[in-house]
Amino acid sequence: MAEIGTDIQKAKDIIENGGLVAIPTETVYGLAANALNPEAIASVYRTKSRPSFDPLIAHLPSIEQAERYTLTWTQKASKLATKFWPGPLTLLLPKRDIIPDMVTSGLQNVAVRIPKNKLTLELLDRLTVPLVAPSANPFGYVSPTSPVHVNDQLGGKIPYILDGGSCNIGLESTIIGFDKKDNATVYRLGGLDLKTINNEIGYVKVTAHSSSNPKAPGMLKSHYSPSVTVRMGDISQRLESIENVNRVGVISFQKEIEAIPLKNQVVLAPDGDTSTAAKNLFSALRYMDTLDIDILLVEPVPDRGLGRAVNDRLTRAAAT
Ligand code: TXA
Ligand code: MG
């Protein structure tokens, strides 16, 4: 198992020697490596069993640093970065040659973001290189929102997990790209909700539901999947055709489902807040994988706030 601790110097030493460290962010834990070291990057892909066509996000400590690795910024990109970084937002920008092609899977744009976590920002500040950091889970599985989640699956493969506690937001960053006319497109719904983005830059197109979009291969239709079979829809209605309720798990939005044993249930947001649902979603999916059940029933949450991003993840968890 990996060591879990708050030793930034130790994390720095491992990274500088080409090793991997799991790092906390406000969204999910990342599997970090030196973004300028092709061998270290290769080891990130290997450790996650991630296909090489699925590019990585470069994490940086400041806009000035981000500018060192990117070529041109549209007005909207600058506006969003200034307003929301550090925060749950990733921007797709034309890369400079210094970023290895392995980071972007050969694409011209590199994904960049400044994460909002004290330990990780301090680590990024002390390093002289950016960090690539995909979510610290095996490819296709649910993203980790705590050090224990990381350790459960990747603990045997990495030396160190920087412990920032549980992630505040609990959903991956929102990914936005821009065309030549500075029209913005959301490629992944995430921790920064659409309304907040609209308030800053007006209309943005959303293509995050595409299942074969080369711009964001991580948005594959089936993703964020626990091992148990997931079905999404009205839970009570689905239960009508199920005989043995003891073999059913339930993730509901605000209220428990009476017919189901309590230990087989997680209520995402007793307070009715979609941000609470976002924060609890991934640990709920992981919990369901520890139960002896045949099927997991989930219901959509209200579309407001982070609800749309939560529903996106639930839909993908249920996709086969
Ligand atoms: O919140 C997050 O973004 C977390 C934390 C650790 O920062 N990271 C994360 O990374 O979710 P990952 O690798 O699990 O998801 C990154 C997504 C993938 O869907 C990938 O296809 C897309 O970003 N992506 C990365 N670079 C890209 C690029 N150059 N062009 C288009 N999509 C890109
Ligand atoms: Mg991921």
- Using 70 as the pLDDT threshold, list the residues of the chain that sit under it: 208-222
43 CA from centroid of ligand 1 (Å): 17
Global pTM value: 0.96
Which backbone phi and psi does 79 adopt, to 5 degrees? -60, -45
32 CA from centroid of ligand 2 (Å): 12
Ligand 1: which residue has its CA nearest to atom 15? 134
Residue to substitute in 57, 59, 95, 224 for testing ligand 1 pocket (most ligand atoms within 8 angstroms of CB): 57
pLDDT digit string, tens, across residues 154-171: 999 999 999 999 999 999
Atom of ligand 1 nearest to the CA of 109: 29
The pLDDT of residue 320:
79
Ligand 1: which residue has its CA nearest to atom 10? 134
Residue to substitute in 27, 44, 90, 178 for testing ligand 1 pocket (most ligand atoms within 8 angstroms of CB): 90
Residues with CB under 6 A from ligand 1: 25, 27-28, 30, 54-57, 90, 92, 104, 107, 109-111, 115, 133-135, 172-173, 175, 188, 215-219
The pLDDT of residue 224:
78
Ligand 1: which residue has its CA nearest to atom 18? 218
Strands (E), the chain: 3-5, 21-23, 30-34, 57-59, 89-94, 109-113, 131-132, 160-162, 174-178, 184-188, 205-206, 229-232, 248-252, 265-267, 295-298
Alpha-carbon span 70 to 147, nearest angstrom: 31
The pLDDT of residue 225:
86
Atom of ligand 1 nearest to the CA of 95: 29
Contact 52, 136 (CB under 8 A): no
Alpha-carbon span 26 to 37, nearest angstrom: 25
pLDDT digit string, tens, across residues 217-248: 555 666 778 999 999 999 999 999 999 999 99
SS3 content of the chain, % helix, strand, coil (to 5): 35, 20, 50
The pLDDT of residue 219:
57
Q: Helices 274-288 and 307-318, interaxial angle, to 10°?
A: 20
Neighbours of ion ligand 2 (CB under 5 A): 135
Angle at alpha carbon of residue 315, lines to 174 and 103, rounded to 5°: 40
Which residue has 């991580």 as its token pair?
218
Alpha-carbon span 121 to 156, nearest angstrom: 26
Ligand 1: which residue has its CA nearest to atom 6? 30
Atom of ligand 1 nearest to the CA of 143: 14
282 CA from centroid of ligand 2 (Å): 12
Angle at alpha carbon of residue 168, lines to 167 and 170, rounded to 5°: 65
188 CA from centroid of ligand 1 (Å): 9
Contact 266, 251 (CB under 8 A): yes
